[in-house]
């Protein structure tokens, strides 16, 4: 009875070994066994568990903003570590990694060209996090589009526009275009409204009106105080600019609209004329 059991065990072990030693042959130089595939899978699983443990340890005492930055950067590191472990695992499992690269050289070149923009996006994302030119919550302007950054991902940055639309920005655009960060120096930004009045108007009265209108708006900051600039003697008007500060750039266009409505109302009340372009045409009779 015991001999029969031992024979069954030996048979099971032999069959298991034969399955584990089964070799997938791709070419004369490239092959891998089932045992090697299992080894690579286990190595990747263990690596994933270790990386998750390290991430939890590091982010445990970070603020929410710093945690988001670290997780974004960690995602780049994670894929790089997986690639290294995968290559090392293949080499340990007996796969000729050099032969794999040699056999797939043409394919890798084609894939590299196809993924060139993707790699640019990833490298740009790393640069964004390293030089800290853009943070989550910043208001940025790129190619004439303005949005508040929601998150910085592996390939793209997501931002919400003033119209509450999500703007998906490929990260490589940061390297190829001029980026305006409205909140790099803080949330406070300076805005303005331009207006022209007719020649002969009382400029001191115009300045007083513009200052009063700006100071009376509840969303305009009291410090620094609004200021009025006499910007130009134009062809048909005397041009002024009222400059003011806000702590929410997304409100700028609504505040500017409010000021224009109020300026127009007060100008009508105070008999201050906003001119329109005029041209004098002289007709000479034929001799």
Mean local confidence (pLDDT), 49-57: 86
pLDDT band at 52; cut points 50, 70, 90: confident
Query: Element (H or E) spanning 3, and its range?
Result: helix 2-20
Looking at the fold, whether 170 and 209 belong to one and the same domain comes out as no
Angstrom distance (rounded) from CA 262 to CA 204? 18
Tell whether 193 is covered by a domain.
yes
Looking at the fold, whether 32 and 51 belong to one and the same domain comes out as yes
Looking at the fold, whether 72 and 150 belong to one and the same domain comes out as no
Give how far Cα 219 sits from Cα of 181, 188, 210, Å.
21, 12, 16
Question: Quick one: 213 exposed, middle or buried, by C-beta within 10 A (0-12, 13-18, 19+)?
Answer: buried
Tell whether 233 is covered by a domain.
yes
CATH number of the domain residue 203 falls in? 3.30.70.100
Residue from 206, 245, 247 nearest 228 by CA: 206
pLDDT band at 192; cut points 50, 70, 90: very high
Mean local confidence (pLDDT), 53-70: 75
Q: Are 139 and 183 in contact (CB under 8 A)?
A: yes
Tell whether 274 is covered by a domain.
no
Model pTM?
Answer: 0.55
Question: Among residues 165, 181, 197, which one ends one of the domains?
Answer: 181
Looking up tokens 């005492």, which residue turns up? 61
Give how far Cα 7 sits from Cα of 1, 16, 17, 21, 211, Å.
10, 14, 15, 21, 100
pLDDT of 106: 55
For residue 170, which phi and psi values (nearest 5 degrees)?
-60, 135
Residue 266 has pLDDT above 90, yes or no: yes
Looking at the fold, whether 174 and 194 belong to one and the same domain comes out as no
pLDDT digits (tens, 9 = 90+) for 136-156: 888 888 888 888 888 887 778
pLDDT of 226: 93
Residue 235 has pLDDT above 90, yes or no: no
Tell whether 151 is covered by a domain.
yes
Angstrom distance (rounded) from CA 7 to CA 184? 76
Q: Are 229 and 240 in contact (CB under 8 A)?
A: yes
* DSSP string for residues in 171-183: TTHHHHS-EEETT
pLDDT digits (tens, 9 = 90+) for 147-181: 888 888 777 888 888 888 888 888 888 777 888 88
Residue 20 has pLDDT above 70, yes or no: no
CATH number of the domain residue 167 falls in? 2.30.30.60
Residue 207 has pLDDT above 60, yes or no: yes
Look at the chain and report how many structural domains it folds into: 3
Higher pLDDT, 253 or 59: 253
Tell whether 216 is covered by a domain.
yes
Residue 96 has pLDDT above 60, yes or no: yes
Mean local confidence (pLDDT), 13-27: 62
Tell whether 109 is covered by a domain.
no
Q: What is the dihedral of CA 77, 118, 150, 224, to 10 degrees?
A: 100
pLDDT of 38: 80
Q: Which domain holds residue 253?
A: 189-269
């Amino acid at each position: 009875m015991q001999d029969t059991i031992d024979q069954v065990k030996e048979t099971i072990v032999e069959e298991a070994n034969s399955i584990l030693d089964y070799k997938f042959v791709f070419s004369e130089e490239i092959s891998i066994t089932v045992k090697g595939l299992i080894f690579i899978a286990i190595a990747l699983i263990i690596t994933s568990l270790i990386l998750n443990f390290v991430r939890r340890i590091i982010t445990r005492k970070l603020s929410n903003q710093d945690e988001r930055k670290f997780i974004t950067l960690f995602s780049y590191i994670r894929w790089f570590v997986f690639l290294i472990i995968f290559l090392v695992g293949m080499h340990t499992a007996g796969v000729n990694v050099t032969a794999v690269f040699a056999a797939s050289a043409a394919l890798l070149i084609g894939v590299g060209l196809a993924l060139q923009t993707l790699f640019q996006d990833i490298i740009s994302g790393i640069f964004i996090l390293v030089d800290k030119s853009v943070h989550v919550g910043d208001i940025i302007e790129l190619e004439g589009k303005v949005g508040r950054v929601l998150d910085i991902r592996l390939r793209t940055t997501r931002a919400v526009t003033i119209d509450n639309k999500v703007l998906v920005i490929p990260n490589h655009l940061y390297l190829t275009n001029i980026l305006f960060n409205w909140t790099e120096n803080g949330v406070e930004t300076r805005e303005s409204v331009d207006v022209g009045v007719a020649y002969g108007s009382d400029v001191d009265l115009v300045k007083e009106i513009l200052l009063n209108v700006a100071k009376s708006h509840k969303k305009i900051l009291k410090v620094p105080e609004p200021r009025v600039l006499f910007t130009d003697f134009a062809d048909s008007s005397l041009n002024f600019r009222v400059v003011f500060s806000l702590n929410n750039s997304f409100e700028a266009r609504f505040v500017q609209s409010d000021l224009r409505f109020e300026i127009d109302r007060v100008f009508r009340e105070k008999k201050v004329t906003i001119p329109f372009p005029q041209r004098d045409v002289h007709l000479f009779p034929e001799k």
